[in-house]
Homo-oligomer: A and B are copies of this chain.
């Protein structure tokens, strides 16, 4: 193979290319023996994970007056002040975080900014840095030599909102090889401030399913992940806040529920080889998405036979006159909660093939309220699966484990 020509680019061309493309960020010198996190952009050495699990974060900022590291709960009790080195690179080494995925950011002279060394992940209603902390022995969300499904971006016009929307659709391995086979459908929703990319990017749902299906532990299924926000036609993007969500679930989720029922399900059934009945359709979500799953599925039991809420706040009371000061446990009333969904346990148990609730052991009040609701439901005779993720809080490692427990229980 002749390669001499490869050495000959004119300097004018070279200059043009260099000017036009700019230079990519040069990788910082490795500060130590640490290895780049899997969530780093290719070539970025920081953040680096040490063999003992500690993590070092660095940013070059010679002119900065102050720099801190901050992030989600699992990262540790921050914010962490960073220290300026002689060359203007600031750094901090933190104790081993909880395994799993954690959002993080730098606070540079008072402004939250991303780490250029990290990929970005949609959270907190914006693109945010994230770090993947390996969990020893946990390979259920790793990529393995097993058949892999695809994740497809599917654009569809919503008659409800008048907008083009994008759903991400996981099709199981061999979907294209078995053109006559039909599959059940799991609708799987992200949390507040996240979007339709969360379950595949942060959650690695596609790998969890690939691995479960390869092991024969889960039924091959289609997983649909949509953007859990919807606005009225012509309206600006709906600014969903926690306050709105907790004050008025109908206002928060009503339009999205319409999108799911009127637009999303018909689109999926028309576009993919689904088994288009309630016995082969599940709705699940995490946090806000768990609230949505219960909100939507409980009102449309003709469409769903499986319902799962992963760290989703449980709605308790019924009496508009009652002050909100009462404790959750006292207020969860299985007769009236969710419009009487659980009022007749025998009927519910017959109609709903799976009610699945989960929480991380470190979710504190949320864990307590969900487990209290589970106790009340079980006490009344409602069949409910409760899954607890040990040692994790309101974070993606909880939800990855949730999906590993949940998926094998669906459609069997």
Contact = CB atoms under 8 A, between A and B. Distances in A.
Q: Which of A7, A8, A116, A364 has the most C-beta atoms of chain B within 10 angstroms of its own C-beta?
A: A8
Nearest to A122: B41
Interface stretch (A46-54, A239-247, A347-355, A377-385): A239-247
A112 B116 contact: yes
A379 to B, nearest CB: 19
Question: Which of A5, A11, A299 counts the most B-chain CB atoms under 10 A from its CB?
Answer: A5
A296 B17 CA distance: 20
A249 interface: yes
B12 A327 contact: yes
Interface in A230-256: 236-237, 239-242, 245-250
B111 A10 contact: no
Given A21-B287, A315-B9, A155 B148 contact: yes
Contacts of A12: 327-328, 365, 368-369
The interface centre, meaning the residue of A65, A164, A242, A250 with most chain B CB atoms within 10 A of its CB, is A242
A26 B126 CA distance: 11
Contacts of A319: 4, 8
Interface in A142-178: 143, 145, 148, 150-157, 164, 176
Contact of A13 (B15, B109, B336, B366): B366
B287 A8 contact: no
State the number of copies, please.
2
Interface string A83-120: 00000000000000000000000001111111011111
A127 B127 contact: yes
Interface in A306-321: 311, 313-320
A111 B59 contact: yes
Interface in A1-56: 1-18, 20-27, 41-44
Contacts of A5: 249, 315, 317-318, 336-339
Contact of A65 (B109, B246, B393): B109
Contacts of A325: 11
B111 A22 contact: no
Contacts of A17: 242, 245-246, 287, 313, 366
A390 interface: no
Given A143-B155, A155-B143, A365 B125 contact: no
A394 B64 contact: no
- Chain A interface size band reads 35 or more
A27 B125 CA distance: 10
Contact of A116 (B61, B126, B311, B316): B126
B366 A61 contact: no
B316 A9 contact: yes
Contacts of A193: 21-22, 24
A224 interface: no
A109 B63 contact: yes
A311 B19 CA distance: 13
Contact of A7 (B109, B113, B247, B340): B247
A66 B11 CA distance: 36
A159 to B, nearest CB: 12
Given A5-B315, A21-B192, A22-B193, A42 B327 contact: no
Given A10-B327, A179-B179, 19 more contacts: A1-B339, A2-B339, A9-B324, A10-B324, A11-B324, A12-B327, A17-B366, A21-B287, A21-B288, A21-B394, A22-B124, A24-B124, A26-B241, A41-B125, A42-B125, A42-B229, A43-B125, A61-B110, A151-B153
Interface of A: 1-18, 20-27, 41-44, 59-66, 73, 108-114, 116-120, 122, 124-127, 143, 145, 148, 150-157, 164, 176, 179, 191-193, 200, 206, 229, 236-237, 239-242, 245-250, 271-272, 287-288, 295, 299, 311, 313-320, 322, 324-328, 331, 336-340, 363-366, 368-369, 393-394
